[in-house]
Amino acid sequence: MRYRPLGPSGLLVSELCLGTMTFGGSEGMWGQIGQLRQDDADGLVKTAVDAGINFIDTANVYAGGESERILGQSLRNLGIARDEVVIATKVLGPMGEGINQRGASRYHIMEQCKQSLERLQLDHIDLYQIHGFDPMTPISETLEALTTLVQHGHVRYIGLSNWAAWQVMKAVGIAEARKLAPILSLQAYYTIAGRDLEREVVPMLRDTGMGLMVWSPLAGGLLSGKYDRDGKGSDGRRANFDFPPVEKDRAHDAIDAMRPMAEKRDASVAQIALAWLLHQEVVTSVIVGAKRKDQLTDNIAATEITLDAEELETLDKVSALPAEYPGWMLERQGGYRQR
């Protein structure tokens, strides 16, 4: 297990991050994603920590707060020292029926941070992330609320999730101009089956030095290699919850290219898909979630796979995005000015 700085900070996080979206679901969307109870969650957390994972991600909205509660109890049940793990959680989604029980307002952020700390049984959150963009709340209000939490010691670092590049840059500008807490990371969807992030967000991350946490690195299970082109062949999560959206033909072309790479290593297609992400310089940590210990163990083994230059080139070509404006024009006009 390797460790990387989280954005422009001295905080080191493991290249894999344990995701806890499978903890605590009972019905509806959360039940489809995962219904792990305390004992099973304890087993996954122990497996992750024993493998060297020091980074764990959750969110207040996962299973209506149950994911946070189970994670907090796991840390206690396993006797994991607070300074051995980096705990990340998120805020934005609805946590009740009230009109102010959602969003990125100061009101909601301050209240939800307090509730997350209670559920996690912690005195501080290491990385507090805004789970998505709130078009109603001024970015400055959101950033000032997060800065207050940092100043009060309830939060160590702040990040964003699912924001467009222009929104992130606007927030960075506001934070710098007003001397607010810096934004260390962005959590976003990125896979070999969905490289849309490379159009605008990846260049922004490279420019700012911000860290990237990748969610759903196996495209909701599609990149496990267990599904055929018509979606059949597995009763996994994707069969019941077809998310995130994927350009299926391009994804299966990538799977077809990864399969022989996996076979020659006696590895899984999922491991090759994760290894591809770990080879991308912009990636800080890849969030892996699981319902079973064997799934998590398989994912962790991806850290031992090295793809050679020829394999990376093959995967790059088969999964490449179609050219779009202004990207193709920027490349054409800027080619003779590259550093």
| Residues designated catalytic | 62
Strand ranges inside the chain, DSSP E = 3-5, 12-14, 16-19, 55-57, 86-91, 125-130, 155-161, 183-189, 211-215, 285-288
Instruction: With residue 313 as reference, give the H or E element that holds it.
Output: helix 309-319
User: CA 13, CA 7: separation in Å to the nearest integer?
Assistant: 10
Angle in degrees, CA 263, 297, 6, rounded to 5? 105
Q: How far is CA 61 from the centre of its chain?
A: 15
Residues contacting 59, CB < 8 A, separation 6+: 21, 67, 68, 89, 90, 91, 93, 131
Among the listed residues 266, 270, 262, the one whose alpha carbon sits nearest the alpha carbon of residue 226: 270
The Cα–Cα gap between 62 and 89 comes to 10
Do residues 163 and 213 lie in contact, with contact meaning Cβ atoms separated by under 8 Å? no
What's the alpha-carbon Rg for the chain, to the nearest Å? Answer: 20
CA distance 78 to 53: 15
Nearest to 198 by CA among 113, 23, 323, 62: 323
